[in-house]
């Protein structure tokens, strides 16, 4: 007689949305890459960070950041509302609200975020299912060209960010993947491939 197997323990895909964490030195193209990725991946949304930095011209509350004062930021930490937080470039505080990330992922939708290397290290401990991608500029010279070409920062800020880049790039090996952002279309395609593969990891099944 043919044997039939019980399907009681058949692996089930949980269908959770992938959480993509991107880091890389300022000017390497994280924002550009995220916007291009989101234009093609309607199932993903960018996590909106909270920060004590004042808004820049054109930035919109709730779209670019949740802007707040130091007191409010500290309250969020005390409440345990932040998945991670850090002082970036020695000046302002930035953090990721935990609830929107977890709720979106549980609903089967993807989340993509740009956090510095300190924040990514915290997420590695607290949300190991998140996929960490380091964005590497093709060269130091190209990084400098992009930072100056962006035209959003004063010369002194550019110099400080270039100095910080060396330390940030030194963290690349802690990440799951590295994408060299040379040709933007190639970089976006690689990020899409990583997101697709990540959703089929064995850990996505129970
Ligand atoms: P980050 O968010 O990492 O600080 P941006 O996305 O603001 O970096 O990019 C910095 C500058 O580099 C911008 O002027 C952007 O248009 C440019 N840039 C981004 N990606 C590329 C690329 N693949 N090739 C050429 N220029 C790029
Ligand atoms: P900007 O002030 O130029 O918007 O952001 C500066 C840097 O802060 C970004 O490149 C990014 O690496 C970092 N950053 C933005 N949001 C967060 C966040 O929520 N957490 C952490 N740790 N870093 C962030």
Q: Which pLDDT score is estimated for 2?
A: 55
CA nearest to 164, candidates 143, 179, 133, 150:
143
Give me 168's structure tokens.
């940030």
Task: Give the helix ranges, DSSP H, for the chain.
Answer: 30-40, 70-79, 98-106, 117-126, 140-150, 155-169, 184-198
CA nearest ligand 1 atom 18, residue = 29
Is 2 within the bounds of a domain? Answer: no
Domain count, the chain: 1
Is 137 within the bounds of a domain? Answer: yes
Q: Looking at the DSSP assignment, which residues form a beta bridge with residue 84?
A: 96
Q: How far is the CA of 92 from the centre of ligand 2 (A)?
A: 9
Task: Give the mutation target among 32, 58, 89 for probing the ligand 1 site: most ligand atoms within 8 A of CB.
Answer: 32
Q: How far is the CA of 8 from the centre of ligand 1 (A)?
A: 50
Is 76 within the bounds of a domain? Answer: yes
Task: Give the mutation target among 146, 169, 190 for probing the ligand 1 site: most ligand atoms within 8 A of CB.
Answer: 146
Q: Which pLDDT score is estimated for 69?
A: 97
Question: Domain of 64?
Answer: 19-201
Is 3 within the bounds of a domain? Answer: no
Is 91 within the bounds of a domain? Answer: yes
* DSSP symbols for 76-120: HHHHT-EEEEEEETTTEEEEEEHHHHHHHHHTT-EEEEE--HHHH
Kindly report the CATH number assigned to the domain that includes residue 188. Answer: 3.40.50.300
Strands 19-23 and 131-136: parallel
CA nearest ligand 2 atom 17, residue = 115
What gap in Å lies between CA 105 and CA 179, rounded to an integer? Answer: 23
Q: Which pLDDT score is estimated for 7?
A: 64
Is 206 within the bounds of a domain? Answer: no
What gap in Å lies between CA 165 and CA 160, rounded to an integer? Answer: 9
Per-residue pLDDT in tens (0 to 9) along the chain, 206 residues: 556 656 679 999 999 999 999 999 999 999 999 999 999 999 999 999 999 999 999 999 999 999 999 999 999 999 999 999 999 988 899 999 999 999 999 999 999 999 999 999 999 999 999 999 999 999 999 999 999 998 777 888 889 889 999 999 999 999 999 999 999 999 999 999 999 999 999 999 99
Q: How far is the CA of 60 from the centre of ligand 1 (A)?
A: 20
pTM confidence score: 0.94
Is 4 within the bounds of a domain? Answer: no
């Amino acid at each position: 007689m043919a044997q039939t197997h019980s399907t009681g323990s058949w692996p089930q895909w949980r269908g959770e949305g992938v959480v993509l964490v991107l880091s890389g030195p300022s000017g390497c193209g994280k924002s550009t890459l995220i916007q291009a990725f989101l234009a093609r991946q309607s199932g993903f949304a960018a996590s909106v960070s909270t920060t004590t930095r004042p808004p820049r011209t054109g930035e919109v509350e709730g779209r670019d950041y949740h802007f707040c004062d130091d007191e409010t930021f500290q309250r969020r930490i005390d409440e345990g509302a932040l998945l991670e937080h850090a002082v970036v470039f020695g000046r302002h505080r930035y953090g990721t609200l935990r609830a929107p990330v977890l709720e979106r992922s549980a609903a089967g939708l993807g989340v993509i975020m740009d956090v510095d290397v300190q924040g990514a290290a915290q997420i590695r401990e607290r949300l190991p299912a998140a996929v960490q991608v380091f964005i590497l500029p093709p060269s130091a010279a190209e990084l400098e060209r992009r930072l100056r070409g962006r035209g959003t920062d004063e010369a002194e800020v550019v110099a400080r960010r270039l100095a910080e880049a060396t330390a940030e790039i030194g963290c690349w090996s802690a990440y799951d993947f590295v994408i060299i952002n040379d040709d933007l279309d190639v970089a976006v395609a690689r990020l899409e491939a990583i997101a697709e593969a990540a959703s089929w990891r064995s850990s996505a099944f129970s």
